[in-house]
Amino acid sequence: MSDTQPAIIVVGSINMDLVVRVERFPVPGETVRGRSFITVPGGKGANQAAAVSLSGGSVSMIGRVGNDIFGSACLDNLRSKGADVSGIRIDPDAPTGNAMIAVDAEGQNELIYTPGANGKVIPQDAEHATEAISRADMVILQFELPMETVCGVVDLASRLGRKILINPAPAETPPADLLKKVDYLIPNETEAERLTGIKVQDLQSATQAAENLLRQGCKQVIVTLGSQGALVHDGTAVTHVPAKKIEVVDATAAGDTFIGAFSVALAEGKSLVKAARFGCAAATLSVSKLGAQTSIPTRGEIESFLED
């Protein structure tokens, strides 16, 4: 890893996304005609790793892919984004994870996720990278891996004194003591509701959810709010970071893009609010393009967008 860039470890999922554009989503039992179809490397972990690298960070990815064409394509793609993939194992038995995504005319998406090799990631996969983790500025995880693996990696990173960022997606209730070890928890509205029981509909309810999560032990909470930006709670002050308006083409990976860019800005020494502003700019740019990693902007694009 470079000494001049934030060093970030992402332990997470690696998928191939199968994306179809439709005018509208079908109702049960209905067939609708697709407008286009593409395959795009995705997975929340891989998306976040790509976003870290494109935002200016040095990133190493830990995870698994299958011994198939999708796995090879995902590894090649991460390498092309500048990620270190030496921590990714090729599972001999399970296929590469995949997500089938439908995107409607408004840019909203519906997704069916099959874990595949992601479900075979174990804590020992990260323990093999203990030295790299011990030197990292931050360790990022999501919930697309087995929960026991997430807990094991969090324990390892905590013992090593690393900053820990968790994106609790897909929404799942973690063990009670997990959140107490998290430095930065970044849920969206749905995930915040799952963790707190509070329906997040506006800034007031987002604040209530963030306060609930802080009481559960999280040190700092950022609730991403889609087109409304993000709400930042550092345990004392609450700040709303708005997002610029832009035409939405595809919202896939917007949250992952936010997390990757946010983590780089934070590791560079920016304040929590400034890091969230950088993340919001990256996420906003990402929704203007189709696909997951294909939509993630570069650092130069993010900085230019912030200057406009």
The closest of 185, 190, 181 to 210, measured between CA atoms, is: 185
Q: Is 6 exposed, middle or buried (0-12, 13-18, 19+ CB in 10 A)?
A: buried
Catalytic residue among 17, 84, 91, 256: 256
Tell me, rounded to whole angstroms, the distance of Cα 88 from its chain centroid: 17
Q: Is 104 a catalytic residue?
A: no
CB 21 within 8 A of CB 34: yes
Integer CA distances (angstroms), 186 to 11, 23, 64, 114, 275, in order? 16, 31, 24, 23, 13
What are the backbone angles phi and psi of residue 163, rounded to the nearest 5°?
Answer: -70, 140
Contact 164, 154 (CB under 8 A): yes
Is the dihedral angle over the CA atoms 148, 81, 104, 116 positive or is it negative? negative
Q: How far apart are CA 168 and CA 116, in angstroms?
A: 19
Q: Say if strands 97-103 and 138-142 run parallel, antiparallel, or are unpaired.
A: unpaired
Q: Give me the active site residues, please.
A: 256
